[in-house]
């Protein structure tokens, strides 16, 4: 079974994340969307909300599983018997950052990282931009899947 872990904070999931997961579905038998827990980071959305946003976004897709985790992603991959880490790239800065992590992960384990370029239509979207739009009362709904609705 070809299993990939797609790690991130997903605070919140964006249309860019949604696009990467959907485009990766034909490549893998299972995609584990892994929400990392970092006690030092302040999140806008609770862990439960972030998990629900993703689960609701992929409610009709049995190949997508959503979990939470702490620690190294490569350790999670070993626990989940995942052979791949899935990452999206928006720009050259993402590439340089992700390349360093991928090389480190490969040095520490046998894991392969698969990069997908974001679609041009979503390459400008980041969770931090979504949070900024939300904080300032803007229309964030054009940046996130329908499941992400704030009351």
pTM of the model: 0.94
Within-domain flag for 21: yes
Within-domain flag for 91: yes
> Are 150 and 134 in contact, with CB atoms under 8 Å apart?
yes
- List Cα–Cα distances, 96 to 1, 20, 89, 102, in angstroms: 30, 19, 10, 10
Residues 81/116/138/148 CA torsion (nearest 10 deg): -30
Which of helix, strand or coil describes residue 3? strand
Distance CA 79, CA 84 (A): 13
* Boundaries of domain holding 113: 3-142
17 an active-site residue? yes
Residue 51 belongs to domain with CATH number: 3.40.50.620
For residue 128 the two structure tokens come to 């931090």
Q: Find residue 115's DSSP bridge partners.
A: 87
- Per annotation, catalytic residue among 3, 63, 65, 90: 90
- Per annotation, catalytic residue among 50, 57, 87, 127: 127
127 an active-site residue? yes
Within-domain flag for 150: no
pLDDT digits (tens, 9 = 90+) for 44-78: 999 999 999 999 999 999 999 999 999 999 999 99
65 an active-site residue? no
- For the chain, what is the domain count? 1
- Per annotation, catalytic residue among 17, 50, 57, 87: 17
Within-domain flag for 149: no
pLDDT digits (tens, 9 = 90+) for 105-144: 999 999 999 999 999 999 999 999 999 999 999 999 999 9
Q: Which residue has the tokens 């880490």?
A: 85
List, in sequence order, the alpha helices (H) in the chain. 15-24, 47-57, 73-80, 92-108, 127-135
9 an active-site residue? no
């Amino acid at each position: 079974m070809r299993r990939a872990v797609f790690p991130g904070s997903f605070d919140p999931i964006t249309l860019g994340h949604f696009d990467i997961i959907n485009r990766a579905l034909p490549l893998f038998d299972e995609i584990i969307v892994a929400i990392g827990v970092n006690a030092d980071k302040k999140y806008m959305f609770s862990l439960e909300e972030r998990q629900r946003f993703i689960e609701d976004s992929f409610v009709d897709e049995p190949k997508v599983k959503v979990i939470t985790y702490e620690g190294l992603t490569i350790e999670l991959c070993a626990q989940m018997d995942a052979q791949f880490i899935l990452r999206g790239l928006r720009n050259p800065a993402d590439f340089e950052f992700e390349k360093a992590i991928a090389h480190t992960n490969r040095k520490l384990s046998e894991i392969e990282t698969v990069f997908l370029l974001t679609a041009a239509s979503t390459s400008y979207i980041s969770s931090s931009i979504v949070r900024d739009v939300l904080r300032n009362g803007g229309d964030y709904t054009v940046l996130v899947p329908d499941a992400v609705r704030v009351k």
